Amino acid sequence: MPELPEVETIRRGVAPHVASRSIEHVTVRDRRLRFGIPEDLEQRLEGQPITALWRRAKYLVFETPDGALLLHLGMSGRLHVLPAEDIPPPGAHAHLDLRLDDGTVLRLTDPRRFGMALWATRPVEQHKLLRSLGPEPTQADWPADALIQACQGRTAPIKSVLMDQRVVVGVGNIYANEALFQAGIHPKRAAGRISPARLRRLHAAAIEVLDAAIAQGGTTLRDFSGADGSPGYFQLVVSVYQRDGQPCRRCQTPIRRMVIGQRATFWCPSCQR
């Protein structure tokens, strides 16, 4: 499943192609994505300039004067940028094409159909899927004290709290594993029993891991690639994720695996307490 670094990588790849462009034509071949593609999406988008492209959590927001197209890639979705001179025939899972006024096509494909393509009226930030989200994982938007406060009195595992999108958005499974390793915290430790000093280390580690993943173009696991088809490379430098049985990069102790909240969890029994 594409996580925040993958979606941000796609946003950065797509942004230059939509800057100062308008949506000339919309083709919907199959509306059967999650929640269904709205019947009036074509009418709302055709002829509209794209005034901004931004990301909120794992949503891509194509803003227009009247509102915005919200795209979510679900578990297997991809957004391809196809130049006007080289547009291949749509495959079986090409749900949506946006043809821009220079002939470029943005094509959304999604074999498993867990993605979304929805319309948001203004104010876009108050759309039902966006308004309850937590802060973005940056120093400016998410101070360490906010994580400390979110953990107070909590008996839930710290990994579950870190992945709670109401606490902070975008710390998905891969990056929660990696941040907890960097901070030296056992993923099953009760959030309310971790000292503020250690939570500050975890806060810094989460931001650092996500920034590093964005710099590497995300993580390629099964389906992800950037808008230009290039894979991400963060998987080459992960410390614990999917490395169960392999030696820890710090202490050589074999990495272990367990399940927390129905998600595979990886940790070093020597480095994480």
Domain harbouring 113, CATH code: 3.20.190.10
Active-site residue flag, 193: no
**What is the distance between the alpha carbons of residues 270 and 184, in angstroms, rounded to a whole number?**
9
Nearest 5°: CA angle at 43, between 42 and 47? 90
Q: Residues marked as binding?
A: 93, 112, 154
The helix/strand/coil state of 181 is helix
Residue 135 maps to a domain: no
Q: What is the domain extent for residue 62? A: 4-126
Least confident of 58-72, 202-216, 244-258: 202-216
Q: Answer whether the bond into residue 123 is a cis peptide, omega within 30°.
A: yes
Q: Kindly state the average pLDDT of the residues 66-88.
A: 94
Looking at 126, 153, 169, the residue that finishes a domain is 126
Which is more confident, 76 or 163? Answer: 163
* Residue 22: strand pairing partners: 49
Q: Is the CB of residue 151 less than 8 Å from the CB of residue 199?
A: yes
Are 159 and 114 contained in the same domain? Answer: no
**What is the rounded average pLDDT of the residues 147-163?**
98
Range list of H helices, 26-143: 41-45
Catalytic residue among 2, 137, 157, 187: 2
The CA angle 190-194-196, to the nearest 5 degrees, is 145
pLDDT of residue 217: 75
Q: Mean per-residue pLDDT for 177-189?
A: 98
- The CA–CA distances, whole Å, from 64 to 114, 158, 224 equal 25, 39, 27
Number of domains in the chain: 2
Distance CA 100, CA 86 (A): 14
Contact 52, 20 (CB under 8 A): no
Q: What is the pLDDT of residue 1?
A: 67
Q: Is residue 133 part of a domain?
A: no
Q: Are 253 and 271 in contact (CB under 8 A)?
A: yes
Both 170 and 61 in a single domain? no
CA distance 182 to 201: 8
* In a shared domain, residues 108 and 166: no
Euclidean distance between CA atoms 48 and 262, whole angstroms: 42
Residue 134 lies in a domain: no
**What does the pLDDT average to over 51-55?**
98
pLDDT of residue 46: 98
Does residue 137 belong to any structural domain of this protein? no
Q: How confident is the model at residue 229 (pLDDT cuts 50, 70, 90)?
A: low
Mean pLDDT of the chain: 92
Residues 173 and 93 in one domain: no
Distance CA 120, CA 70 (A): 7
Q: Is residue 58 flagged as an active site residue?
A: yes
pLDDT reading at 234 higher than 70:
no
115 and 148 inside one domain: no
Q: Do 50 and 89 reside in the same domain of the chain?
A: yes
Residues 109 and 152 in one domain: no
Task: Give the mean model confidence (pLDDT) for residues 46-63.
Answer: 97
Residue 232 has a pLDDT of 44
CA angle 26, 32, 33 (to 5 degrees): 85
pLDDT of residue 157: 98
Reported as a single tens digit per residue, the pLDDT across 109-141 is: 999 999 999 999 999 999 999 999 999 999 999
Q: Which pLDDT belongs to residue 224?
A: 37
The catalytically annotated residue of 44, 55, 56, 58 is 58
167 shares a domain with 58: no
Give yes or no: residues 93 and 61 share one domain.
yes
- Percent of residues, the chain, with pLDDT higher than 90: 85
Is 5 an active-site residue? no
Same domain, 148 and 118: no
- Look at residue 136 and tell me if it is in a domain: no
Looking at the fold, whether 83 and 166 belong to one and the same domain comes out as: no
Of 71, 100, 126, the last residue of a domain is: 126
User: Does the active-site annotation cover 88?
Assistant: no
Integer Cα distance of 273 and 205 in angstroms? 16
User: How far is the C-alpha of 152 from the C-alpha of 118, rounded, in Å?
Assistant: 36
Residue 236 forms part of a structural domain: yes
Q: What is the CATH number of the domain that holds 235?
A: 1.10.8.50
Q: Which two tokens stand for residue 244?
A: 């169960």
- pTM higher than 0.85, yes or no? yes
Lowest mean pLDDT among 27-36, 41-50, 208-217: 208-217
Do residue 121 and residue 17 come from a single domain? yes
- The residue out of 74, 93, 126 marking a domain boundary is 126
Annotated binding site for DNA: 93, 112, 154
